[in-house]
Amino acid sequence: MFETMKRIDSFDCSTERKKGMETTIYLIPGVGADFRIFKNLQFPENCEIVHIKWVASKPDESIQAYAKRLLPQIKKDTIPVLIGMSFGGIIAIELSKLVKPAKTILISSIRNKTEQPLKFSILRRLPFHRFIPGSVVAKVNFWWSWALGDLTRKDKKMITEMIEDINIPFNEWAAHQAITWQNEHEPENLVQIHGTKDTIFPHIYVSKNAHIIKGGTHWMVVNRAKEISNIIRKELAEQNVIKRVEGITKAA
């Protein structure tokens, strides 16, 4: 039993590379965040990790058009694994329509319009968010505890540092895109990891197939990183096992 668990939980990208199927993990952060949000996650050995960088949005640009402008950051000669946190998960879904990822993994995010919370429906009809300057939202920190849960001094320091580097017009655009997103597409090999204390995207709206982390908040990518890493590693390993079994079956 223990040997079986060890095989399932081990996914080595170098093994895939030897078979001519190099796997690259692409990390897509949420609104107001950057590569630092993923700093506590642990990925399979020898995997190439690429942090997708936000580019400036254009006025009235659609989320589909924006996703296309991120494509140059995805290599054509590798098998992509897309991992998106919050708004980054929404972008991962849009990118999955343009490339064929081995896995699309959502952390504290939603897969389609049916998982949007009630407050988003209200904001689509009464778009108060469009009248609140993004600079005010970014620099007033009283909402941090509501949005992200309990934060340590180190957490607050990291948030402050990320806020100093954000692009306010992009954040305003991204928030509106998340609220008005009308996606119905669901990519193959989709994995969703969600916390029961997420206040941005309450877990009561997400799929019953999601990996649920009890007590996880919208900040769990940082403070529950070990559990999330274990889920990611297992999902990648199981995908690898399935491919090996299919190959053996065909050969037989």
Rounded to whole angstroms, what are the CA distances from 57 to 60, 62, 64, 95, 185? 9, 9, 12, 16, 23
Domains of the chain: total? 1
- Hey, what are 227's tokens? 């559990």
**pLDDT at residue 47 in the model:** 84
Burial class, 8, CB count within 10 angstroms (exposed 0-12 / middle 13-18 / buried 19+):
middle
* Residues in Cβ contact with 137 at an 8 Å cutoff, skipping those fewer than 6 apart: 143, 171
C-alpha 208/C-alpha 185 separation (Å) is: 17
**pLDDT at residue 132 in the model:** 58
Domain with 227, as residue range(s), is 2-251
Q: For residue 177, is pLDDT > 70?
A: yes
Alpha carbons within 13 angstroms on the beta-carbon side of residue 162 total 21
Please report which confidence band the pLDDT of residue 248 belongs to, taking 50, 70 and 90 as the band edges. Answer: very low
Kindly report the CATH number assigned to the domain that includes residue 46: 3.40.50.1820
Q: Could you report the per-residue pLDDT of 72-109, keeping only the tens digit for each?
A: 999 988 889 999 999 999 999 999 999 999 999 999 99
Q: Which of 14-28, 135-149, 162-176 has the lowest mean pLDDT?
A: 135-149
**pLDDT at residue 168 in the model:** 85
Which among 24, 148, 135 has a CA at the least distance from the CA of 75? Answer: 24
* Choice between 24 and 59, residue whose per-residue pLDDT is larger: 24
Please report which confidence band the pLDDT of residue 18 belongs to, taking 50, 70 and 90 as the band edges. Answer: very low
**pLDDT at residue 117 in the model:** 81
The amino acid present at 241, given as its one-letter code, is V
**pLDDT at residue 231 in the model:** 96
Q: Could you report the per-residue pLDDT of 31-48, keeping only the tens digit for each?
A: 889 999 999 999 987 789
Its pTM stands at: 0.84
The amino acid present at 116, given as its one-letter code, is Q
- Hey, what are 234's tokens? 């297992």
